[in-house]
A and B are shown apart, each in its own frame.
Chain A
Amino acid sequence: EAEVAQSPRYKITEKSQAVAFWCDPISGHATLYWYRQILGQGPELLVQFQDESVVDDSQLPKDRFSAERLKGVDSTLKIQPAELGDSAMYLCASSRTGGAPYEQYFGPGTRLTVT
């Protein structure tokens, strides 16, 4: 069964350093999402791509976060500089064109700890 791949699974970094996360969605899924999940809360959408275009990045802290999906396939989320409050689980999800938008397939996530 196809899955959404994410790497790394765990990342520890010092504040003010740069960090990057990678996501490879299920083949053929045109829509890709990055979520942040703080402990005890539900996932919060950071950015949504339709192919290579950003559809919604209203909750992305653009002063330090950036996201790209250059060829409309895999995607990278970057934080520079990292802050203590960025410690969270970063989840990537994808959904297929023509499918229900709520049927999103999530990857296992990257657990970020900023020290």
Chain B
Amino acid sequence: DQQVKQNSPSLSVQEGRISILNCDYTNSMFDYFLWYKKYPAEGPTFLISISSIKDKNEDGRFTVFLNKSAKHLSLHIVPSQPGDSAVYFCAALSKTSYDKVIFGPGTSLSVIP
């Protein structure tokens, strides 16, 4: 049973436009939600996080929104750049489970110049 879901395997966006990556989760006990970015032939790199007690966190061009009632979060990238083309993993962790990080299946973002 997938606890973290990313229902869009891929997304294409024009350079300069907004990219919106979505994620849904089932476990209401998660304490933090995370986004990792992965380029081919590299390991994932941590991008941004949000605590379960917040509804928004912003870091430069990246903003994560959390809707706890809907068990939904999204990552907004504005403006999108070709270098943002990568696989984005949504993830979550519960501090009651040894801080174990549960990853979603990923969404492949292509930013078209």
Report which A residues bind B (CB closer than 8 A).
Answer: 4, 40-45, 48, 55-56, 91, 93, 100-109
Contact = CB atoms under 8 A, between A and B. Distances in A.
Contact of B43 (A40, A55, A100, A108): A108
21 contacts: A4-B43, A40-B9, A42-B91, A43-B44, A45-B100, A45-B101, A48-B98, A48-B100, A55-B98, A93-B43, A100-B49, A101-B101, A102-B32, A102-B46, A102-B91, A102-B93, A103-B46, A106-B44, A107-B43, A108-B42, A108-B43
Nearest to A41: B105
A88 to B, nearest CB: 14
Nearest to A92: B43
Given A48-B98, A55-B98, A104-B101, A42 B89 contact: yes
Nearest to B38: A106
Contact of A102 (B9, B34, B41, B43): B34
Contacts, number: 56
A108 B46 CA distance: 14
A101 to B, nearest CB: 4
A104 B46 contact: yes
A11 B9 CA distance: 27
Nearest to B93: A102
B45 interface: yes
